[in-house]
Amino acid sequence: MMDIHQILKKLPHRYPFLLVDRVIEIKKGESIRALKNVTMNEPFFGGHFPHRPVMPGVLMLEALAQAAALLAFETLGTELDDETVYYFAGIDGARFKRPVEPGDQLILEAELIRMKAGIFKFATRAKVDDAIAAEAELMCTMRKIA
């Protein structure tokens, strides 16, 4: 388990782009379950959409990538530093199954499929209750910045 204070020490993201509120369960080298509480106060809801607020699919993928990053750091036993960035390397098979609205609690799940040559591949799902809202295979990598 990891609370917001621990997450802030591990991820470089900050408001309004930090999209993980809590880690519910983490198994080093295997999987993570985290959550994002979706509230009407999210800055994107003002424009997406004013008449019917819906969380953008790309932000669901970003939330999944942030959860996956936490799993990657835990797996490697490393912390993020000012000289390292964690990037998307690819997104395959992204599917959006249901809208995510204010008041929903998004459960973020990622399973580590492969870790090779600094590239991580994850099977991910974002759920509301037991219904899948989004799913994708994400590839991410860590790189030193010059």
Counting residues of the chain whose pLDDT is more than 70, the rounded percentage is 100
Q: Is the Cα torsion angle 16, 17, 22, 24 positive or negative in sign?
A: positive
Determine whether 48 is an active site residue: yes
Whole-number pLDDT of residue 111 = 98
- Picking from 120, 100, 104, the residue whose alpha carbon sits closest to that of residue 112 is 120
- Check: CB of residue 94 under 8 Å from CB of residue 122: no
Tell me which residue has tokens 């917001």.
Answer: 4
pLDDT in tens, 42-59: 999 999 999 999 999 999
pLDDT, tens only, 115-124: 998 899 999 9
Between CA 143 and CA 146 the distance in angstroms is: 9
**Phi, psi (deg, nearest 5) at residue 117:** 55, 40
Structure tokens at 52: 């019917």
Q: What is the pLDDT of residue 94?
A: 98
What was the pLDDT predicted at 9? 92
- Average per-residue pLDDT in the chain? 95
Q: Please name each of the domains of the chain with its CATH number.
A: 4-144 (3.10.129.10)
pLDDT digits (tens, 9 = 90+) for 25-46: 999 999 999 999 999 999 999 9
Per annotation, catalytic residue among 5, 13, 48, 51? 48
Strand 22-27, strand 105-116: pairing: unpaired
pLDDT one-digit tens code per residue, 92-109:
999 999 999 999 999 999
